[in-house]
Copies of this chain bind each other. A is one copy, B any other.
C-alpha cells in the first residue's frame, strides 16, 4: 500500500527497540498481504499513480501537479507519553505525519485531524489547539477539518501535499552503486526521550524528541538529486531496509560513518528512530551538489553506505567486520 506504514505496528517508539523482530516482521508481511490491492481495479480511473509501499500516495490532480497524501496515527503510550504536554502531543503528532511528505519532496498544502480523547478537559484542549496553531504557523498550512470521538487518547493526522508531476521521490527508485545518505544526527530523539523520562521537562535536550522537525525544505532540495528517500521514523536500519525492499536491492552500511550525538554508536542508538531525519540515495557524483544543499540549509548530510545488488542489508563495524543482523534484513 502507499505508505502502509506497518512498521509502526511493530516498532512502537516507546518500547525497547532491538533487532530481533522476526515475529513482528512476519506480522508486517501478513498485514501487507491482506491490505495490498484492495480496490486496485479503480486506481487508474481515479488517477492514483502510486499506491504501493511508499511514504505517501501519489494522485494526479492536473497536468502540472500531483497530490501526495499520507495518514499517521499517534497513540498514547506507544508514540508519545501521557506525561507530555498536550501542546507537544499535538505538535509532534502533526510533524510525524508531515515528515512523510518531506521524504517525497512534497510541498505541504493542508491537514486534517481525527482526535480521540477520553474526556473533555478544557486546559488540555487549549494546549492541544496551541500546538496545532504553532505547527500551522511553522509549516504555513491550515487545518481544514477533522473528527472528534471519545476513547483512548489517539491522534490521526492526514496531510496533503503536492509535487510537480513525476517529481515525487519514491522509496522504490534506488539504484545499485548509489550512495546512502542521512541528514542530521541519528539518535538525538532517543537521548531526548530518555532525558524527558527523567526530567519531564521541555529543554534543549528533550526538544529533539518533543518537537521534531519535518525536513520539508531538505526534501524540496532533494528533488532531482535523490533517487529514493524515506524519513527515519522506525529506526535507521529498518528504514534503509524499506528502501532496499521497495527497490528490490540491498545495501552495505558502515556503523562508524553514521553521525551520532557522541562517539557512542550502539545499535540501539542508531536504530532508535523518531529522529525524522531523511535517509536517501543518490549517485556518487551528486556529492558536491549535496554538500551545497547541506551548507545552504545548515543541515549535516553524511554518506553512510552504498546500495548493492545483493538483496540484503549488511552492517559493518569500524574494523570492517560484519555485524550480525536478524533475518528480517535478508528479505527476499
Interface of A (DSSP majority class): mixed
Chain copies in the assembly?
2
Known: A46-B109, A110-B59. A1 touches B146 (CB 8 A): yes
Q: Is residue A78 contacting chain B, with contact meaning CB distance below 8 A? A: yes
Most buried by B among A2, A61, A72, A110: A110
State whether the Cβ of A264 lies closer than 8 Å to any Cβ in chain B.
no
By CB atoms of chain B within 10 A, which of A75, A145, A146 has the most? Answer: A145
CB–CB A39/B143 < 8 A = yes
Q: Within the assembled complex, what's the spacing in Å between the Cα atoms of A34 and B133?
A: 10
Is A125 a contact partner of B34 (Cβ separation < 8 A)?
A: yes
- Report how far A208 CA is from B331 CA in the complex, Å: 45
User: Which of chain B's residues has its CB closest to A4's CB?
Assistant: B146
Chain B residue numbers with a CB within 8 Å of A272 are none
Contact check, B3 vs A48: say whether CB atoms are below 8 A apart. Answer: no
A interface with B by C-beta (< 8 Å):
1-6, 8-9, 12, 27, 30-31, 34-35, 38-43, 45-46, 48, 51, 56-57, 59, 61-62, 69-73, 75, 78-79, 109-110, 112-114, 116-117, 120, 122, 125-126, 128-129, 132-133, 135-137, 140-152, 154, 156, 158, 160
28 contacts between A and B (CB under 8 A): A2-B144, A4-B146, A4-B147, A5-B146, A8-B147, A9-B117, A9-B120, A9-B149, A12-B150, A30-B125, A34-B125, A35-B146, A38-B129, A38-B142, A39-B132, A39-B135, A39-B137, A42-B142, A43-B142, A48-B110, A48-B142, A57-B145, A71-B114, A78-B150, A112-B158, A147-B156, A152-B152, A152-B154
